[in-house]
Amino acid sequence: MRQKMIRLISPITIMALALVFAFGCVDDDPVELPTVSTAPIEDVTAMSAKGGGAVTDEGGAMVTARGLVWDTSAEPTVDENLGQVSGGSGEGEFTVTLSGLTSSTEYYARAYATNVEGTAYGETVSFTTDDVEGELLSPGNWENASAAFVYSWSDDNIENPGFIFGTNVYGDDAYGQVFEADGNFTIAGAFFWIGARNGTAGDVVFTIWDFDGDNPGDVLGSKTIPMSEVEATEELGEAMWVEFDEPVSVSGNFMIGADLSDLNDFVYEEYGLGHVSSENGDGAEAALAWIREAEEGWIPVLTYQMDVDIAIFPLAEMTVGSDEKKLTLVGKSALDSRAQQLSGRIAEIERKRR
């Protein structure tokens, strides 16, 4: 009798257990992508803007990341963009600041939200950064220059050792051009006429230093650009525009140039960077071009019996306020007309290498 009961109960028990197991594995709330919307872009300036969005549905799992991505091409993503800023996590609205933008440029932005299922995006919105008009500031006595060069060191013991304003075997790790000024200024960027670039490793730190009238001083602001993105050209009209992430405030004289301490040693025709300068003699004995030697520190190039200016051109408009003067630099859109003005003054610049 007992054996018969076992045979009778066992199939029923097995079926019950199977049903319990099957129903226990059913997922009543499958995870989906979040739902996110993009807010309009506001408070647009030449280099920044404010935006954001809202996560209205987390999709059944926590949103671990949300924010805004932007690019000059439509539909930027978290993997391909010119900029990305986090807006926290979870559901709800968020506001972020987009910085490091280029003036007079159209951008596309959209919000994103990420959970375990993946990343969802809001609609794409576009905006254009402001453009500020201005005049070209020429370094030192550049307006009287008759030619431009990429100067290099040479002597009987060292062949092709590198550039005076750039990388060389003597260990120089920075150079700069002094701008004499009277008042307080706000600097956004400048055009750097890079004449030669070989190789791609390392970073160039385009920098503004304080200048007390006798020596370069503290770093006031900088912009780091990979060597691979440095633009070299023989034409002034194609000079590289470098815009700082945030405007740099200076008071009085300042020096603007490049810190090369993160670059490799010069290798002839394989690795190096050289900046264009005016022809020897056009510096008007003003000692406005400086080099920073690794061991000796900053030295004016007049010490080397050279009298030149470095081809660094802020684009600026000088205006006088109630209690201070301000220098506002323009974006790349004004380069062509300003370059033509300068080219007309120095007449058919021909770059030569020694």
Domains and CATH numbers, the chain: 35-128 (2.60.40.10), 135-353 (no CATH)
Please give the Cα distance from 276 to 184 (Å, whole number).
28
pLDDT at 333: 43
pLDDT score for 344: 46
| Closest to 123 measured CA to CA, from 89, 87, 76, 161 | 76
pLDDT at 18: 53
What is residue 144's predicted lDDT score, i.e. its pLDDT? 81
Please report the pLDDT score of residue 180 as a whole number. Answer: 85
H/E stretch holding 10: helix 2-24
**Per-residue model confidence (pLDDT) at position 200:** 95
pTM of the model: 0.63
**Contact partners, residue 206, CB within 8 Å, separation at least 6:** 190, 192, 222, 223, 224, 225, 242, 256, 257, 258, 259
81, 69 contact by CB (below 8 A) = yes
Q: Assign 68 to helix, strand or coil.
A: strand
Task: Tell me 212's DSSP state.
Answer: -
User: What's residue 338's pLDDT?
Assistant: 46
> Is 40 within 8 Å of 19 (Cβ atoms)?
no
| Local confidence pLDDT in tens for the 354 residues of the chain | 334 333 444 555 555 555 545 444 445 679 999 999 999 999 887 778 899 999 999 999 999 999 999 999 999 999 999 999 999 999 999 999 897 777 778 999 999 999 999 999 999 999 998 775 555 678 988 878 878 989 987 766 677 789 999 999 888 999 999 998 777 777 878 889 999 999 999 999 999 999 988 899 999 999 999 999 999 998 887 888 888 877 788 888 899 999 999 999 899 889 999 999 998 888 999 999 999 998 889 999 999 889 999 999 876 554 444 344 444 443 444 444 445 544 544 433 333 333
User: What's the rounded Cα separation, in Å, for the pair 345 and 338?
Assistant: 11
DSSP 319: E
Q: What is the pLDDT of residue 353?
A: 31
Q: What is the pLDDT of residue 348?
A: 39
Contact 50, 93 (CB under 8 A): no
Nearest to 100 by CA among 209, 226, 189, 9: 189
Structure tokens at 96: 């972020």
